[in-house]
Amino acid sequence: MKKFFPSSVRRLGHAFIAGTALFALMPTNAQAFQITVDGQPYEITTEDTTWNAIRNDVIGAVPWWGIEDDAVSFAEDAFNQQGETFVEFAYGETKDRFENVTGTLTAFVNDDGDATTGGLADSVGSTYAISAEAVPEIDGSALSQATGILTVLLLALIGRRQWRQSRAAG
């Protein structure tokens, strides 16, 4: 029986699978969950860390940055939809009189379900929401069109294979 892929491609595939498995087994303290805020689904990634460690990644990069009410909405939706408590949705920074950053302003929901805003010192460890990626919604008509196209392609490939087999046999 003839193999479908040459040995070099098979070895590359095995290396890819091994690398993917090793990457998946690497320890991380980041976690993710999905929530919907104002009709838009978001994939929220959290990390147990300090504000000092993540500040450059978060400032201006999350949709609630600079808007306390939005940070509260995200915190409340994380609690109401996923049961997430004490996830810090940082929306601003605290500074001393010399404009040195001393901490962050955050919104979170406590175990009682109460939304709270406050400040954390920049070196205090907590669970921070570090990113929010908007999840695109799949349009129903686009999904059916894609399914139709894939079905036609699959049938064409099957027909071509059968044609080749009949030519080789006859």
**Is 19 within the bounds of a domain?**
no
Domain span at residue 40 reads: 30-134
Please give the model's pTM, rounded to 2 decimal places.
0.64
DSSP assignment string, 76-98: HHHHHHH---SEEEEEEEEE-TT
pLDDT tens, 22-80? 444 444 567 899 999 999 999 999 999 999 999 998 999 999 999 999 999 999 999 99
More confident residue, 60 or 156: 60
| Band of pLDDT at residue 6, cut at 50, 70 and 90 | low
Tell me the two tokens of residue 93. 């920074």
CB atoms within 10 A of CB 62: 24
Within-domain flag for 3: no
Q: Is residue 24 part of a domain?
A: no
Mean per-residue pLDDT for 136-160? 74
Residue 86 lies in a domain: yes
CA 33 to the chain's CA centroid: 8
Q: Would residue 22 count as lying in a domain?
A: no
Number of domains in the chain: 1
Closest-CA residue to 55 (of 15, 21, 102): 102
- C-alpha of 111 from chain center: 25
- Measured between alpha carbons, how far is 39 from 26 in angstroms, rounded to an integer? 34
Question: Within a domain: residue 2?
Answer: no
Give domain status of residue 79, yes or no: yes
For residue 7, what pLDDT is reported? Answer: 59
pLDDT, tens only, 81-131: 999 889 999 999 999 999 998 999 999 998 888 999 998 888 889 999 999
Report d(CA 19, CA 158) in Å as an integer: 33
- The residue that leads in pLDDT, 18 or 74, is 74
Q: Is residue 65 part of a domain?
A: yes
